[in-house]
Amino acid sequence: MGYVFAVVGALGNVGRTMQGILAQSDIEIDGLVLMDVPDNAGTKVGWRGRECAVVAAEPAAFEAVDIALMSAGAEASKALSPEAARRGCVVIDNSTAFRMDPNTPLVVPEVNPEDLESHRGIIANPNCSTIQMVLVLKPIHDRWKIKRVVASTYQAVSGSGKAAVDDLFAQVEAFVAGAEMVANVYPHRIAFNALPHIDVFLDDGYTKEERKMIDETKKILDPSISVTATTVRVPVVNGHSESLNIETENPFDLEEVRSALAEFPGIEIQDDPGSNLYPLAINADGKDATYVGRLRRDHTIENGMNMWCVSDNLRKGAALNTVQIAQALIERDLVRVP
C-alpha cells in the first residue's frame, strides 16, 4: 500500500523541486495533491506523465492526504499544518513556523532521524544554510566534539524565490543592454554585488538567517555547539556556498576528518586543489550531495580547520530533505498522527 502526498506551495521554487524529487523517488505514491494559494487553483501541472490541477490550500484539502510537504511560508503553515495534522496528515514543513517549537522535531535525516520518533504530526525542515552545515558538522562532532563554528555564507538567489531569480536575470539583462539595473526584490541590486543581509534584522544586529544557523544547529546537533555566522547573498542562481571555520574539543588528524566526511551519507569530497577541484555552486546545482573541499588545518588554534561546503539549497537545503524525512518516516513506520 502506498501513500497520498500533498505538495503545498506547489508553484514555488521549492514546491516544483519537491514534485520533481517525488517523481523520481522510489516511495510508493498512490496520489499527489498539489495545493497553492486560491488564486492559482486550477493551474495544470504535469507529474509522472499525468496532469494535476492545483487546488486551493485549505484544511479540507488534507482529508485524504497521508504526508504533506509544506513550502508555503510561515503564516500559511501556522494556519494549515495543525489543521492537516488534526485530519491525520503528517506535515513536513519547510517554513520557520515550527522549527524552534520544542514539541516539533527539526530533522536532517542523516543527522538526527531518531528525533522523528516523538513527532506529533508536524516535523520541521531546517533552514537551507543550516542543513548543509549540520550535515558536515555531524561526523566531525561525533568523533572530535565541536566547540565552535564561525560561518560565512555565499547564498544563492533561488533561496528567495522565483521573483528574486527573475530580478537577478532582469538586472543582468539591463546591464547587457546598457540600461539601469533596478532592484525589485532585495533592498539593493544583487547583480555584481554581495548583500550582507538575508531575512530581517534582529535587535542584536544579527539577521534572522544568521540566528537560524545558530539556534537550529543547537537543536539538531548539540546545544553545546557555539555557532556565529555572517550570511551573505551573492549573485549565484542556485547553490549555497559556506566558508566554515571549525574548532573541536579533541585533537584530530586531518586525513581522518577527510575520511569521516567522505564516509558520511550525503557528503561528497571534492578536494584536489592541484587540478582546480573544489566545490562550486554551478556544479552542485541540481545535485543531491553536499560537497566539501578546501579542507585544511587552521594554524591559529590548537584544534581548528577550515573548509568550503556547497549544496543545492532548493534540493538538500529544502525539497530533497523533506522527501528524505518522508522516507525516514515510512521506514520507521511513523506515518501517523499520534
Q: Which residues are catalytic?
A: 128, 240
State the first-to-last Cα distance of the chain, in angstroms, to the nearest integer.
20
Please name the residues in contact with 187: beta carbons below 8 A apart, sequence gap of 6 or more. Answer: 195, 197
Rounded distance between C-alpha atoms, residue 269 and residue 128, angstroms? 20
| Binding-site string for a copy of itself from residue 205 to residue 234, where x marks contact by CB under 8 A and - marks none | xx-------------------xxx-x-x-x
Of 74, 150, 260, 330, the residue at the interface with a copy of itself (CB under 8 A) is 150
Single residue of 12, 113, 139, 293 touching a copy of itself by CB under 8 A: 293
Q: Of 39-47, 113-121, 172-180, 318-326, which segment contacts a copy of itself by CB under 8 A?
A: 172-180
Q: Is 214 helix (H, G, I), strand (E, B) or coil?
A: helix
CA distance 55 to 8: 9
Task: Please count the other Cβ atoms lying within 10 Å of the Cβ belonging to residue 18.
Answer: 32
Q: Which of 88, 199, 296, 327 binds a copy of itself (CB under 8 A)?
A: 296
What's the maximum distance between 2 C-alpha atoms anywhere in the chain? 60
Task: Quote the cell numbers at residue 198.
Answer: 538575508
Binding to a copy of itself by residue 236, rule CB under 8 A? yes
CA–CA dist 233, 241 (Å, integer): 10
Task: Please work out, in degrees rounded to the nearest 5, the angle formed at the alpha carbon of residue 80 by the alpha carbons of 57 and 2.
Answer: 75
Using CB under 8 A, which of 49, 102, 178, 187 touches a copy of itself? 187
- Does residue 243 bind a copy of itself (CB under 8 A)? yes
Please report whether residue 276 would count as binding a copy of itself according to CB under 8 A: yes
Q: CA torsion 40→43→48→49, rounded to 10°?
A: -170
Q: Is 184 in the site for a copy of itself (CB under 8 A)?
A: no
> Whole-number minimum distance, CB 150 to a copy of itself, in Å?
5
Query: What residue type is 116 in one-letter code?
Result: L
- One residue of 4, 11, 294, 327 binding a copy of itself per CB under 8 A: 294
x/- letters, 303..322, toward a copy of itself (CB under 8 A): -x-x-x--------------
Q: Rule CB under 8 A: which residues touch a copy of itself? A: 148, 150, 152, 154, 172-173, 175-176, 187-189, 192-197, 201, 204-206, 226-228, 230, 232, 234-237, 241, 243, 245, 273-274, 276, 278-282, 293-301, 304, 306, 308
